[in-house]
Amino acid sequence: MWFGISCRRNSLRNSSTCSYPRLTEIGAWRQETLVGKLDWRNPNYVEVYDGKRHGGFYTQDDIREIVAYAAARYVNIVPEIEMPGHAQAAIAAYPELGNTGEQLSPRTKWGICENVFSADEATIIFLQNVLAEVLDLFPSPFIHVGGDECPKVQWKASPAAQARMKELGLVNEEELQSYFIRRMDQFLTAHGRRLIGWDEILEGGLAPGATVMSWRGEAGGIAAARAKHDVVMAPNIYTYFDYYQAEDKDAEPLAIGGYVPLEKAYNYNPIPADLTDGEAKHVLGTQAQLWTEYIPNPKHLEYMAYPRACAHAEVAWTPLAGKDFADFQARLGAHLERLAILDVNYRRT
Ligand code: ACM
């Protein structure tokens, strides 16, 4: 049963690859960081930055150590190399990977960004080379390629992207993204691994070997399971642990938004009721997300993760018939004492 906690952003920024040293020399460092809430809905909002250079990366030895540490505890680490969107740090390192040739810098704020990888053959080969290095480090059967939140603005405006679509007989940019992901699927399959991506990879057609991680609700996961593809359920309204834990948001540390209290996290059922038994077999499990835009340090991360991660473990591992929130709460008391002894900064409910 898949039980995961995901907590990263911009994977390439954090990967150490020998073939492409600018990924860590350039892509791993941003000049400064946005302070406080990114509030694009407010017309009077003025962005404030901290003026401090920030960044870093894992060396290949670091990764080997982390993978071994996890494996010794029966945990498999699934790396995510995000493409074709969320890629500005890599494009800043190698501008030829983008669509405009512009020399960009790694982003200093978060959110969706129009600077995405081109679909040129050279970019695809670059990413396959990166994946080859990732495969050497991570034994995981699944390799995550992102696929989410990729605006198509630059592909629409790019003569090269439009020519590529014509050459391949593709009718729109969603099909171009699907082609892109298929190329990664072919590469990973040829290397004995399985591609997994966020539910946007359904748009334009799902790659034959793809497993879908359903984050924008369950619809993507349901569609994929019906098409006989494996699925990991990760719907934001139940499993995004970067969302607030209390209704009174002012009483909580700043978070991205949303509201996932402990009971809601506990009561999630990752097997949608409208799947048949045969379709439901494609649901491998569930994953919680802990994106860290608003989580500045490990103690804050613990605060957001616990005790919701304890609830999520039961979502994945306790049969529905045996689940009972009151019973969970009674048992949680003893578990929180263990967390306290381990100096875990769990949220006191
Ligand atoms: C996601 O939160 N963009 C997967």
Mutate to test the pocket of ligand 1, among 148, 200, 213 (most ligand atoms within 8 A of CB): 148
| pLDDT above 50: residue 116 | yes
Average pLDDT, rounded, for the chain: 95
Q: How confident is the model at residue 2 (pLDDT cuts 50, 70, 90)?
A: low
CB-ligand 1 contact for 215 (6 Å cutoff): yes
Conformation bin of residue 304: beta by default, left when phi > 0, alpha when psi is -120 to 50:
alpha
Q: Which of 11, 198, 202, 293 to mutate to test ligand 1, by most ligand atoms within 8 A of the CB atom?
A: 198
Report the atom number in ligand 1 closest to the C-alpha of 240: 2
Does the CA dihedral 121-122-125-127 come out positive or negative? negative
Closest Cα to atom 2 of ligand 1: 215
**How far, in Å, is the centroid of ligand 1 from the Cα of 302?**
20
What would the two tokens of residue 344 be?
């875990």
**Pocket lining: 293 vs ligand 1, CB cutoff 6 Å:** no
Portion of the chain with pLDDT greater than 70, in percent: 95
pLDDT at 39 over 80: yes
Residue 144, H or E segment? strand 142-146
Which DSSP string corresponds to 15-49? ---SS-THHHHTTTEES--B-S---TT-TT----B
Q: Any idea what DSSP says for residue 244?
A: B
Structure tokens at 243: 């969302």
CA distance 142 to 302: 26
Any ligand 1 atom below 6 A from CB of 346: no
CA-to-CA distance for 239 and 198, rounded, in angstroms?
Answer: 14
Point out the ligand 1 atom lying closest to the alpha carbon of residue 148.
Answer: 3
Confidence of residue 40 (pLDDT cuts 50, 70, 90): confident
Task: Report the C-alpha gap between 315 and 302 in whole angstroms.
Answer: 19
Task: Round to whole Å and give the CA distance between 91 and 102.
Answer: 9
Please report the atom of ligand 1 found closest to the CA of residue 86: 3
Contact (Cβ atoms closer than 8 angstroms) between residue 1 and residue 283: no
Closest atom of ligand 1 to 289 CA is 2
Which tens digits make up the pLDDT trace of 118-161? Answer: 999 999 999 999 999 999 999 999 999 999 999 999 999 999 99
200 CB within 6 A, ligand 1: no
Å from CA of 247 to ligand 1 middle: 23
- Mind listing the pLDDT tens digit for each residue in 54-98? 999 999 999 999 999 999 999 999 999 999 999 999 999 999 999
Quote the Cα angle for 169-172-176, to 5°: 70
Residue 200 CA to ligand 1 centre (angstroms): 10
For the CA of 291, the nearest atom of ligand 1:
2
Q: Give 277-307 pLDDT, tens digit per residue.
A: 999 999 999 999 999 999 999 999 999 999 9
Measured from the Cα of 215, ligand 1's closest atom is 4
Residue 5: pLDDT band (50, 70, 90) is: low
- Structure confidence at residue 37 (pLDDT): 87
Q: Please state the pTM of the whole predicted model.
A: 0.94
Find the 7 Cα to ligand 1 centroid distance in Å: 11
CA 349 vs CA 51, 264, 296: distances in Å? 36, 14, 22
Q: What percentage of the chain has pLDDT greater than the value 90?
A: 92
Tell me the residue type at 34: L
Q: How far apart are CA 347 and CA 229, in angstroms?
A: 37
Helix boundaries (H) for 32-172: 60-71, 88-93, 121-137, 153-157, 159-168
Residue 4 pLDDT: 65
pLDDT higher than 90, residue 349: no
Output DSSP code: residue 240: B
Question: Under 8 Å CB-to-CB from 46, ≥6 apart: which residues?
Answer: none
Q: Place 333 in a pLDDT band, splitting at 50, 70 and 90.
A: very high
Over residues 213-265, the pLDDT tens digits come to: 999 999 999 999 999 999 999 999 999 999 999 999 999 999 999 999 999 99
Does 12 have pLDDT greater than 50? Answer: no
Domains and CATH numbers, the chain: 2-341 (3.20.20.80)
Q: Is 241 in the pocket of ligand 1 (CB under 6 A)?
A: no
